[in-house]
């Protein structure tokens, strides 16, 4: 397995991983799966300081993870929301854990102080994965989502990424990170 940043050339693979999650589960609160063009646009236009990464196994993308804005107001800029999706055939093989470890390490080195994740319940696998990589639950919002004629609670999780001192700078773009930092984050032997 290798880890790397996602590119627009991964759009087809990422759309294929994500589509069944949108179409058949309440894990994602989207109801229309993005097609390849839409996925290409999402990958191609994400902010420079919000990494999208993929795990590739035998030349095939097995999963992806990315950061997005937690909330829009300026004071939230040291927080990132994270999410991860692993192809059905590749689950329980360490892909999700490996992607998250790398993503959280990148975010920490960029200068983020907190990562947050919202998990539509029930989702035992996601809850277990988030706990396994260091997230703790902060609370549950009730009936926050309605999909497939059912109301769903959302559990929120947080993970500390850095000290709560006075930041010297805003979170940097990933292409401003030294190559050694990226290499260390993408090193698989930590998994
Ligand atoms: C959640 C998800 C990303 C986990 O990815 P994965 O590659 O299967 O997870 P890993 O193999 O890296 O597992 C890491 C740890 O997570 C936990 N875990 C993962 N899947 C689990 C499951 N089905 N049941 C219980 N624990 C699970 C375990 O603690 C595991 O550690 P272990 O293997 O040493 O027991 C994957 O199931 C998935 O893509 N699900 C659909 C999308 C989704 O729910 N994304 C999260 C949105 S909030």
- Which segments in the chain show pLDDT lower than 70? 189-191
pLDDT tens, residue by residue, 24-64: 999 999 999 999 999 999 999 999 999 999 999 999 999 99
Predicted pLDDT of residue 190: 47
Q: Whose CA is nearest to atom 12 of ligand 1?
A: 94
Sketch the domain layout of the chain as residue ranges.
2-174+184-190
For residue 67, what are the β-bridge partners?
82
Predicted pLDDT of residue 191: 45
Edge to edge, the sheet with strand 2-5 lists: 2-5, 52-57, 60-69, 79-86, 114-120, 150-160, 136-147
Given ligand 1 and candidates 92, 93, 99, which is best to mutate, with the most ligand atoms within 8 Å of its CB?
92
Nearest to 108 by CA among 65, 70, 54, 51: 51
CATH architecture of 2-174+184-190: 3-Layer(aba) Sandwich (3.40)
Handedness of CA 60, 82, 6, 104 (dihedral sign): negative
Nearest to 121 by CA among 138, 99, 143: 143
pTM: 0.97
């Amino acid at each position: 397995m290798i880890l790397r940043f996602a590119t627009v050339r991964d759009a087809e693979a990422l759309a294929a991983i994500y589509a069944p999650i949108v179409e058949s589960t309440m894990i994602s609160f989207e109801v229309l799966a993005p097609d390849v063009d839409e996925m290409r646009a999402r990958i191609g236009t994400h902010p420079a300081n919000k990494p999208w990464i993929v795990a590739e196994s035998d030349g095939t993308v097995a999963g992806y993870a990315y950061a997005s804005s937690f909330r829009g107001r300026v004071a939230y800029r040291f927080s990132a929301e994270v999410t991860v999706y692993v192809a059905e055939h590749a689950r329980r093989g360490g892909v999700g854990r490996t992607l998250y470890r790398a993503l959280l390490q990148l975010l920490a080195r960029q200068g983020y102080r907190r990562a947050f994740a919202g998990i539509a319940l029930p989702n035992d696998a996601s809850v277990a994965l988030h706990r396994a990589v260091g997230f703790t639950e902060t609370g549950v919002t009730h009936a926050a989502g309605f999909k497939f004629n059912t109301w769903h609670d959302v559990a929120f999780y947080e993970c500390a990424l850095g000290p709560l001192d006075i930041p010297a700078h805003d979170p940097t773009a990933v292409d401003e990170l030294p190559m050694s930092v990226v290499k260390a984050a993408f090193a698989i032997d930590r998994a």
